[in-house]
Structure 1
Amino acid sequence: MLYWGTLATFAQSFSEKGVPLLQNYTPSQYQHKGKIWDIGSAPNGIVYMAADEGLLEFDGKTWTSFRGSDGFTRSLLVDNDSTIYTGSDLDFGVWKRNSYRVFEYTSLYPFKEDITGVNEEFWNVFKLNDNVLFVSSQNIYIYKNQHFTKISAPTHFTGSFSVNDSLYFADEKAGLFRMDGLSLKQVFKFPAGAGFEIAGIYRHPKGIVLVTKNSGLALFSSGKLSILNNAVSQHLQTAKVFSFTPVGDQYLAFGTILKGLYITDINGRIIHQINRNKGLPNNTILSLHYSPSGKLWMGMDYGVSAIDLHRKVTTFYDFRGDFGSGSAALIYNENFYLGTNQGLYQSAWDDLNNDSDYNRFRLIPGSEGQVWCLEEIDNSVLLGHDKGLFILNGNSIQKISDEPGVWTIVPYKDYLLTGNYNGISIFRKAGNTWTFLKKMELILGSCNQLIVEKDNILWINIPNFGVIRVVLDDNLYPAERLIIKDKEFDGANPYLKKSDSGIHLLTDRFQYTFSSAERKFVNKVDAESQPEIDGLVNGASQPIVIHQDYAFYPVYNGFALKYLRSGDKTSGQAYSLCVRKMEAIGRNHDKTDFYPEASIPFRQNSLKIECIVPNLDKVLYQYKLDESGRWSPWDSNNTFELFNLKRGKHTLFVRASMNNEILQTLAIPFRIEAPWFHSWLAYLIYFVTAVLIVYGLLSLQKLSLKKHRKQHLIKEQRSLREQAEKHRQEMMMLEQDMLKVEYNKLKQQLKAKTIELACKARVDDEKNRMLLSLKEKFERVQKEPALAQMILKEINRILESYINTEVNTFEIQIDELHQEFYKKLKDRYPGLSNNDLRLCAYLKIGLNSREIADILNILPSSAFISRSRLRKKLDIGADEDLYEFLNSI
């Protein structure tokens, strides 16, 4: 129903021998919906059919029917996976999928409500550009943008045909017309009195070829019409053609009333003739459709059939009882020899071509009975038979040994080994005749397979026992035996196989490889793929190569050939992996359909999901849940069941495989809703309940508190008074401590101010005395000018003395103000000198290097060097602030 991907067109190249794999469907399988008049396929590979009682849908496993108009459904056009147009008796319309992915029918016929005097049957529906055309015998209705254009037939349409991008219409009397815009343009008139009825048209390099119902094939080229005289044209003149379809670009398919199906190349050479003798339910084919997946679908008078031209296996079933179930085959001198349960049969190799109505086999006299094997050795054909060992002699056989039951024949050096019902027989050639030599010692049981590995190593397969590896000496005695029992292998029907990489053992489930070093089978891997054909004879899982282009399969009631020149192709084709059905299942087994991205109630948290690659055989599937999950084993079952899923978002991954190649991986997201007890309503209920409980508890607590409030009130008041008293005392002590701290602080400040005032007074006194001395000196100069030089020197000495005194006074003042700071520095750094302490004091009060240099009467660079030395003594890094460091002490 849902699909992802597209199908690529099959590149045709198939065998001309045998019948392609054929699948028949009886009316009971599709609910007895009547005859199938038209067939089409959607891009995702699902096939749709116009039946008497409505529309049929088939995905390869499941048939689904839909009822639209009241009359028989005659024709259809599959526009895409979700849109189908159909024509029926007195109606035509469109099918579209609704929101539940189910088809719903809407009639488009403009005269549905008023059909008085109208009796139209719509046998064809076409799409040309953006127009949809519904064709009856009387009219063409062109539908576009919900509007119709009607074109009437010149007289009476007997057929309409789509050829590439052109539409042709055959009129009973006026001839063949081609659609040209919204009108018909005549191509040519039919020959007079010929009863010219056309069943199909196809293009040929020389022109267009008309497939007539009764006159074979006719070529219209350069304005002339001529009957073709090729092989298929002669057959079709008597077979009565009813349906036709091209098969790709190189082949053609013709459905007849009397002789079944013909498949030819573009030049009319018959490739296949398939009828009741070769497996069809009947010989009347009403409709044909070649799907992009390589299947040719046939709607018949009774039932539906499909032949798989994509597969390279063809079959020869004995529907007439001519030859029985094949077991061995050989091509010798351009003849095909077939060993069966009934005897040895012969046919010319070319007679196996499927261009005749049945196969011709001739029984070799004297070979009646079960033939097990055929081998060409020394340009002779040896025959392993239920009655013994024989050699083919022209058209008869000659017995070599009458020991019953020869399963297999193997040449070994100059000898011949045969695996028998009991043991191994050894033959030696004398002249041109093989003679019995002896039985091989130590080997008993039914030896149905012998393989010479190399030199003197022989492998023996004995069903229901195991395999034996023997080393033969020069006398063909098994000098060394290695026995490996069947129980060592998983799976049924063990089969030995030799390849360039060694000896392998295959079962229906696994493949093993023999290790000479370990002397056992190792490297267990999954079997390569499913059997290529159903109905294989038990134990015949591997084909026998009989020709450079063909291999032989033993099949019950017949045999099969595999065309080796071009194997089955999956690479380069994109197949659609579709979701067909998704069901959510509850604990009471109630089911609800859902689709990807859907939210599924928790009560239905078990899922059943069906996926399929539509109408493709031999496909295996596997799945896993979420990225963290593990892939399930590969299985042909395409329905997956998931149980008791947890809530939350999930993704189901599904992938399909054919011939050991992954076709496509599909991701299906969905969400499992939370259970009701995790829903928002449940959470609301929980919240309200919790509120009520809390309210009840608070109410009880409130009553309890009220009861004990008086008792606690007295106790609390007493406690509060005690706490208040305690607090008052603590506050008093705190105030005292604060006052003490404040007192000490003021005391220090007072001391500093006192020192400062004392220093100030002393400085002022010295200044006064110095000024008085200077005044006396100047007065003396005035009185005694001759002594001026000497007096000036004295004045200069007085000034220098004062300056030094001033500096010393400043240093003394600084020292007295920072006595406590000096003490802390000395305690932490005993190596500091007085000058270092004084420099620290200057820095602490915020003086920069230039100001310090002026005070100390030194260069600024010397002040900077002193700071660097101080940093080293204080063990302070260059990136640490010296001012902040000193103020933190």
Structure 2
Amino acid sequence: MKSTISLLSLLLLIFIQSLGYAQVKNIGIPDIKNYKRSEYKGGTQNWSIDQDKNGYIYFANNSGLIQFDGLNWHKYSLPNKSEIRSVKIDQSGRIYIGGNNEFGYFQTNEKGILEYHSLSNSLSKKDKQNINLIWRIHIFNDEVIFQSFTKVFFLKNKKLTTLNAPHKFQFSFLVNKRLYFQDKTLGLLEYKHQKLTVLKGTTVFNDKEIWSVFPLPGNKLLYATLEKGLFISENGIIKPWQTEANDFIRKNTSLGGSIIKNKFIVLNSVLDGAVICDLNGKIIQHMNRQKGLQNNTILSSFIDNKNNIWLGLDNGITFINENSPFSFFDYSYNIGTVYASLAYNGNLYVATNQGLFYHPWTKPFQDSPFKRVEGTISQVWNIQALNGVLICASNSGALIIENNRVSKILDTKGYFGFKKIPNRENYIIGESYNGFSIFKKSSTGYDFLHPVKGFDETTNNFSVEIDDNYVWLTKNPLLYQAKLSSDLKSFEFIKKHSVISKKYKGINSLQSINNKVYFQTQNHFFRYSPEQESFFEDQNITKLFKGIPTINTLIEDSYGNLWYSFNESLGVLNKNKNGTFTKKQAIFSNLSGNLVNNYISVNTIDSENIFIGLTDRLTHYNSAASNTFITKPKAFIESFTFPGDTILTGNIATNSNSYTLPYKSNRVKFTFASPTYENQENVMYSYKLEPFEENWRAWSTTAVKEYTNLREGSYVMKIKAKNSYGIESNISQVEFTVSPPWYRHILAYLIYLVLIFLGTYIISVRIKMKIRKNRYYETIEQRRLYLEKESKIRHEQHELEKEIEKLKSDKLQIKILAKDKELVNNSLQVVKKNKVLNGIINKLKDIDTNILDDSTKSEFTKLHKSIVKEVNTDKSWKDLEKHIKNVHFEFLKRLKSQYPTISPRELDLSTYLLMNMSTKEIAEIMNISTGGVELARYRLRKKLGLNKKENLTGFLMSI
């Protein structure tokens, strides 16, 4: 009962605090992003901050004007390279600055580059003397007012007027549409109708430097002085503001500050960072070097268009994501990796890798860290309140916590957590490193009874749930179904399930929803039916997770909200009063990658106080906070670069220009920016170049794109951004045209057309001339061919005639040879006849004529003389030789020329052989023996150089 009353008191206190503090929370610190000089490439000391309507942030820095678009930093220096002390931007985007003896404005040119225009140069020589530092710039009643210690300059309708300080100015302040100046002698002066009016009773500030003036309810004003603290004026009476904030400022010195929505005040200090207080002076947040700032000297502060805070430091720049429902407890609060948290008896307990820590709820969180619970110096996995007993599961064992110390060690084994046993009110079961143990409620909290036999596997990656019948455990890839015995000493049986559905494989998570155990696979939720001994799907729960990425852990908090994790990210289904659920997922994207795997910790105290464990800190989440921090981002094509030029399109207010590029500059580069300063590292971009690309490129954090070798034509580069909450910006675009190369220019095409017509005409004329010429040459050629053909015919006719003559000659020669042969044969017959006749003559000589009578003798004598005369008068053989030589004259001539040493006798033999006469015939003609013919043939072969295998007659015929 006592615990319940304490818890209700705690919740009421938190509720009252949250009503008072709205978006600025007193629990934890907001997310802080520091920017070092090496990042923004500027000097030390940032004295003034402002923001333009695009969302770009500008800083008055010692080295010049610093511009930041969320991704890129740009620095613009003054002509005299002096420091800048003040910056103010009007509605047109003109950036007014003030420096040392110099003031003017930056304005973008047609290329988007900020160009400086000096106003001080237009002053008269007298007014230009001793300008001093321009510390403040105000835009008031259509005037731009530049204030230095010695003078005030008024710019209106492009004309400058000057007002000298009555004595010496300190600073000026624009509050509730009223402009005040502090004079070192006269006190506060109000500027009205181009005159300064002294405010009565303000000379009390003559020995004080006022750095800021804030409006308070009831027409009160709050003055922040450098060293004297905070003062409040009410009904003309000025007095110290006796509050926590004043104590802080008096101790640490003030450099002014800024106001958030007229509800909270940011106070800069020299020595200890900055604080945020409410309008009653109660400090809600304190941010210093210990809490994450890179420097404790805050020179300036600024509230941007999303009510987040920018701090200009003595060395660096800091962004504070104040307008967020998240705040954090990190190392500065002694918090490491968080595995569980619990609000109990007025304390917030946090289980970490370094032990169990606690912090009282009733004590502010600004500066006091968490304290360690005595006796917990090792890994703590869980902290739970069971039956009014605070029990801790740690590496050191199961511990009972009382009065923020370990009062009792139940078991020295390491434990991961504890579960109530259904229908056994005084019993709990603990998950140890190697099994389970039973504990029983006692007067001292709990007592260890005994381990549960039958299961002794390591359980470091187990999920455990208990229903009325079974103890369920998941250990990839199996689901264990175990039943406790009635005496709780052992498991009666353990059954393993590898699947719970034929359609969906695997078991992704085990969870309890509305006191019922569910088994989840691929976002389909199943329950177990003891009667049917089978699993069945709960369609109602499954429908809730339609369209959600596959989850790996699900936790139901005390309000019935369903927290789930997926891909190291977190989401929640908030339960409404009517039982329906509302999904919130994008808001937690900033925590992605920082959740503790397999140990998702969500502790919901109420809608405004939810604690989430991370790998390096504890997160406080206020789900009831205004969602104004989730806004539609803006996207800009920050720069458009091509060879020879760069256009800062992000600086151009209405970028409706279309740029023309020469063809040699057809390599273009674009850089993107989105002035979204919270979680900038999670901002993604998508783009496409029309008509070069039909589809949008996939989302990526890459903020630069280059295209090369673009063809001539008109292009539109489109870009959109998506912030870490998944909200897309409107599309920004830049139009440009790539001119064609000279040889593809329209004038070139006209020239080409003229050249084509001219060429066609010239070619036509030349073709006609060519045709006429070709016809002439064709006629000549035809005549030539005719003559050649005629000549050829004549030649062929002549050759034919020669061939005919040759054939006739050959035929005649053949006839001659035949006649020669016949003649030779006849001659041979004559020779034979002569031989016969000679034989007869010889025989007649042998006849004795004396025995013959005279008449017979006379006849004998006549016969003898007649035979002798016949033989002597026969010249056929000589005629034959002469005829043979005449017929074969050419042969004999060729043979003699080739073989000069051949004898006449051998020539005769060659002729006879050519005539194919037999050896006997040759012997008879040559009047030698056949042996003599063979010898003569041998000698002839030798002289002709023939071997034995070569045919002599054939060789002679080839000559």
Matched with 1:812 is none
Quick one: which of 374, 386, 400 aligns to 2:383?
Answer: 374
Contact conserved, 1:623 with 1:652, CA < 8 A, in 2? no
String of CA shifts for 1:805-858, please: whole Å, max 9, x gaps.
xxxxxxxxxxxxxxxxxxxxxxxxxxxxxxxxxxxxxxxxxxxxxxxxxxxxxx
Q: Are 1:289 and 2:332 matched, yes or no?
A: no
CA distance in structure 1 between the partners assigned to 2:745 and 2:599 by the alignment: 57
Q: CA deviation at 1:375?
A: 1.8
- 1:479 paired residue number: 495
Amino acid in the other structure paired with 1:403: K
Q: Which amino acid aligns with 1:185?
A: T
Maintained 8 Å contact 1:373/1:385: yes
1:685 deviates by 5.6
1:79 to 2:90 alignment = yes
Deviation at 1:547, TM superposition (A): 1.8
- Partner of 1:19: helix, strand, or coil? coil
Correspondence 1:679-694 to 2 at 5 A:
679-684=745-750, 686-688=752-754, 690-691=756-757, 693-694=759-760
Shift of 1:534: 7.5
Distance (whole Å) between structure 2 residues aligned to residue 560 and residue 175 of structure 1: 47
- Please state if 1:623 is matched with 2:661: no
What are the residue-to-residue correspondences of 1:160-175 with 2, within 5 Å?
A: 160-175=172-187
- 2 CA distance for matches of 1:483 and 1:258? 63
CA distance in 2, matches of 1:483, 1:443: 23
Q: Secondary structure at the match of 2:227?
A: coil
1:326-337 aligned within 5 A: 326-337=338-349
Secondary structure of 1:664's aligned partner:
coil
1:184 Cα deviation after fit:
0.8
Alignment of 1:467-866 (within 5 A): 468-473=478-483, 475=485, 477-482=493-498, 512-514=523-525, 525-526=548-549, 528-529=585-586, 531-533=589-591, 536=594, 538-539=596-597, 543-548=601-606, 549-566=608-625, 568-570=627-629, 573-584=631-642, 593=647, 595=649, 597-600=658-661, 604=666, 607-617=669-679, 619-625=682-688, 629-640=694-705, 648-658=713-723, 660-671=725-736, 673=738, 676=741, 678-684=744-750, 686-688=752-754, 690-691=756-757, 693-707=759-773
Deviation at 1:702, TM superposition (A): 0.9
Instruction: Tell me the distance in 2 between the aligned counterparts of 1:584 and 1:460.
Output: 62
Q: Is the 8 A contact 2:107 2:116 kept in 1?
A: yes
Partners of 1:478 and 1:649 in 2: CA distance: 72
Aligned residue among 159, 164, 167 for 1:155: 167
Task: Please say if residues 325 and 558 of structure 1, whose CA atoms lie closer than 8 Å, have aligned partners that are also in contact.
Answer: yes
CA 1:450–1:412 in structure 2 vs 1: closer, same or farther (change >3 Å)? farther
Cα deviation, 1:281-320, whole Å, max 9, x if unaligned, reads 2321111111112221111122111211111211222248
TM-score by length of 1: 0.69
Once the two structures are TM-superposed, the CA of residue 645 in structure 1 deviates from its matched residue by 6.1
Partners of 1:267 and 1:170 in 2: CA distance: 25
Deviation at 1:45, TM superposition (A): 1.6
Q: d(CA) in 1 for partners of 2:737 and 2:537? A: 52
Structure 1 SS opposite 2:756: helix
Deviation by residue 1:440-464 (Cα, 9 ceiling, x = unmatched)? 86784554452539666777565xx
What letter corresponds to residue 479 of structure 1 in structure 2?
Answer: K
Query: Structure 1 residues 294, 645: CA separation in 2 closer, same or farther (over 3 Å shift)?
Result: farther
Aligned residue for 2:362, secondary structure, equals: helix
CA contact (8 A) 2:268 2:299 kept: yes
Give, in angstroms, the shift of residue 394 of structure 1: 3.0
**Letter of the structure 1 residue corresponding to residue 147 of structure 2:** V
Q: Verify: 1:21 aligned to 2:31, yes or no.
A: yes
Contact 2:499 2:505 in 1 (8 A): no
Same amino acid, percent of matched pairs: 21
The 1:453–1:638 alpha-carbon spacing in structure 2 relative to 1, beyond 3 Å, is farther
Are the counterparts in 1 of residues 341 and 603 from structure 2 also a CA contact under 8 Å? no
Deviation at 1:24, TM superposition (A): 1.5
Q: How far apart in 2 are the matches of 1:592 and 1:190?
A: 53
Match of 1:342 among 342, 345, 354: 354
Give a deviation string over 1:488-514, Cα, whole Å, max 9, x none. 999xxx8877768996989xxxx9454
Output the CA distance in 1 between the equivalents of 2:413 and 2:322: 44
User: In the alignment, residue 27 of structure 1 is paired with which amino acid?
Assistant: R
Instruction: Give the equivalent residue in structure 1 for 2:894.
Output: none
Q: 1:392 Cα deviation (Å)?
A: 1.5
- CA 1:234–1:671 in 2, change beyond 3 Å: closer, same or farther? closer
Aligned equivalent of 1:97: 108
- The CA deviation at 1:611 is 2.9
> What's the CA shift for 1:196?
2.7
1:199 aligns with 2:211: yes
Look up the equivalent residue of 2:73 and give its one-letter code.
W
Task: Quote the offset at 1:278 in angstroms.
Answer: 1.4
Amino acid at match of 1:269: K
CA distance in 2, matches of 1:461, 1:684: 80
Report the residue type matching 2:251 in the other structure: T
Aligned counterparts of 1:513 and 1:638: Cα–Cα separation in 2:
39
CA spacing shift, 1:672–1:13, aligned 2, 3 Å: same
Total equivalences in the alignment:
680
Amino acid at match of 2:116: Y
Once the two structures are TM-superposed, the CA of residue 644 in structure 1 deviates from its matched residue by 6.6
- Measured against aligned partners, the alpha-carbon deviations of 1:298-352 in whole angstroms (never above 9, x if no partner) come to 11122111211111211222248x4544433221100122222221122212335
Query: Quick one: distance in 1 between partners of 2:217 and 2:355?
Result: 49
User: Closer, same or farther in 2 for the Cα pair 1:459/1:712, shift >3 Å?
Assistant: farther
Does residue 299 in structure 1 map to residue 312 in structure 2? Answer: yes
Provide the secondary structure at the position in 2 that maps to 1:616. coil
Q: Which residue of 1 aligns with 2:223?
A: 210
For the Cα contact (< 8 Å) 2:310–2:319, is it kept in 1?
yes
Q: Which amino acid in 2 is paired with 1:532?
A: N
> For residues 702 and 193 of structure 1, do their structure 2 counterparts lie closer, same or farther at Cα, with a shift above 3 Å needed?
closer
Deviation at 1:600, TM superposition (A): 4.8
Match of 2:71 in 1: 61
Q: Is the 8 A contact 2:684 2:723 kept in 1?
A: no
Q: 1:474 offset after TM fit, Å?
A: 5.3
8 A contact 1:21–1:308 mirrored in 2: yes
CA contact (8 A) 2:301 2:310 kept: yes
How far did residue 479 of structure 1 move?
Answer: 2.8
Where does structure 1 lack aligned partners over 5 or more consecutive residues? 1-10, 714-889
The structure-2 alpha-carbon separation of the partners of 1:574 and 1:519, relative to structure 1 and needing over 3 Å to count, comes to: closer
Shift in alpha-carbon separation, 1:161–1:663, aligned structure 2, 3 A:
farther
Q: In 1, are the aligned partners of 2:635 and 2:672 still within 8 Å (CA)?
A: no
| Native 8 Å contact 1:543 1:551 kept in 2 | no
Name stretches of at least 5 consecutive residues in structure 2 with no aligned partner. Answer: 1-20, 486-490, 527-534, 550-565, 567-584, 650-654, 780-959
Looking at structure 2, the residues matched to 535 and 216 of structure 1 have their Cα atoms a distance apart, in angstroms, of 44
CA RMSD in angstroms comes to 3.9
Whether the 8 Å contact between 2:465 and 2:517 is mirrored in structure 1 is: no
- Structure 2 length-normalised TM: 0.64
Equivalent of residue 361 in structure 1, options 345, 364, 370: 370
Give the letter aligned to residue 597 of structure 2: G
Distance 1:443 1:158, change over 3 A: same
**Which protein is bigger by CA-based radius of gyration?**
2
> Is the 8 Å Cα contact of residues 131 and 150 (structure 2) preserved in structure 1?
no
Q: Is the 8 A contact 2:661 2:739 kept in 1?
A: no
Shift in Å, 1:396: 2.3
